[in-house]
């Protein structure tokens, strides 16, 4: 599965913002948001909502790179997101997302009929490689209903 294409097809808002992917695999993803005037805030950097969407999109790609093979039996859902805006972001930004759970443990919980929950941590960096925001997205895999 081409996770980047799947994400942009499944989440039209991410496509609208022009989010692209540099890398996806092994429970990690790097997504990029170009510097666009129509996405700026009142101080000339990317709007907080654009940064949030970039980070949440990267977290989804990281999650899918670990659990995409489980989509036939469970629906991934973000249940909570916490973001900290550390510094003023200016210019192009990238979001690096990393799964903070062991894949085997999450799948074992799904195998046991449970609804596993896990976090994906995201760092957003500016063009100077400075961390401007940090986000944690909590995900769950909701088992499909049978019968």
pLDDT averaged over every residue in the chain? 96
119 Cβ contact partners less than 8 Å away, ≥ 6 residues apart:
100, 101, 136, 137, 138, 139
CA within 13 Å, CB half, 118 = 28
Mean pLDDT of 123-146: 95
* DSSP-assigned letter for residue 113: T
Mean pLDDT of 100-122: 97
Separation CA 137–CA 129 (nearest Å): 22
Q: How confident is the model at residue 94 (pLDDT cuts 50, 70, 90)?
A: very high
pLDDT tens per residue across span 101-110: 999 999 999 9
Superfamily holding 3-143: Hotdog Thioesterase (3.10.129.10)
pLDDT tens per residue across span 81-90: 999 999 999 9
Residue 98 scores a pLDDT above 60: yes
The backbone torsions φ and ψ at residue 80, rounded to the nearest 5 degrees and listed phi first, read -160, 150
Q: Is 0.85 topped by the overall pTM?
A: yes
Mean pLDDT of 4-33: 96
- pLDDT score at 1: 84
Q: How confident is the model at residue 138 (pLDDT cuts 50, 70, 90)?
A: very high
- pLDDT score at 147: 54
């Amino acid at each position: 599965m081409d996770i980047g294409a799947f994400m942009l097809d499944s989440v039209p808002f991410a496509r609208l913002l022009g989010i692209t992917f540099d890398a996806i695999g092994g429970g990690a993803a790097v997504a990029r948001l170009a510097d666009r005037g129509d996405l700026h805030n009142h101080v000339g950097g990317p709007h907080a909502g654009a940064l949030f969407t970039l980070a949440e999109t990267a977290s989804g790609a990281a999650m899918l790179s670990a659990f995409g093979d489980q989509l036939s039996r469970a629906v991934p859902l973000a249940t909570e997101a916490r973001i900290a805006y550390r510094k003023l972001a200016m210019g192009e930004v990238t979001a690096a997302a990393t799964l903070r759970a062991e894949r085997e443990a999450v799948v074992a919980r799904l195998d046991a009929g449970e609804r596993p929950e896990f976090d994906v941590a995201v760092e957003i960096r500016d063009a100077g490689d400075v961390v401007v925001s940090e986000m944690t997205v909590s995900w769950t895999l909701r088992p499909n209903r049978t019968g």
